[in-house]
Amino acid sequence: MFGVVEFHEMIECIAAALEERDHYTEGHSLRVSDMVRAIASKMGFSEDETRIFHFSAHLHDIGKIGIPDSVLRKPGRLSDEEFEIIKQHPAIGARILRKASAFEDLAEIVLHHHERFDGLGYPDGISGYSIPIGSRIIAVCDSIDAMMTTRSCQLETVTSR
What would the pLDDT profile of 45-70 be if each residue is shown by its tens digit?
Answer: 999 999 999 999 999 999 999 999 99
Query: pTM of the predicted model, to two decimals?
Result: 0.87
Mean pLDDT in the chain?
89
Give the Cα separation of 40 and 50 in Å (integer).
6
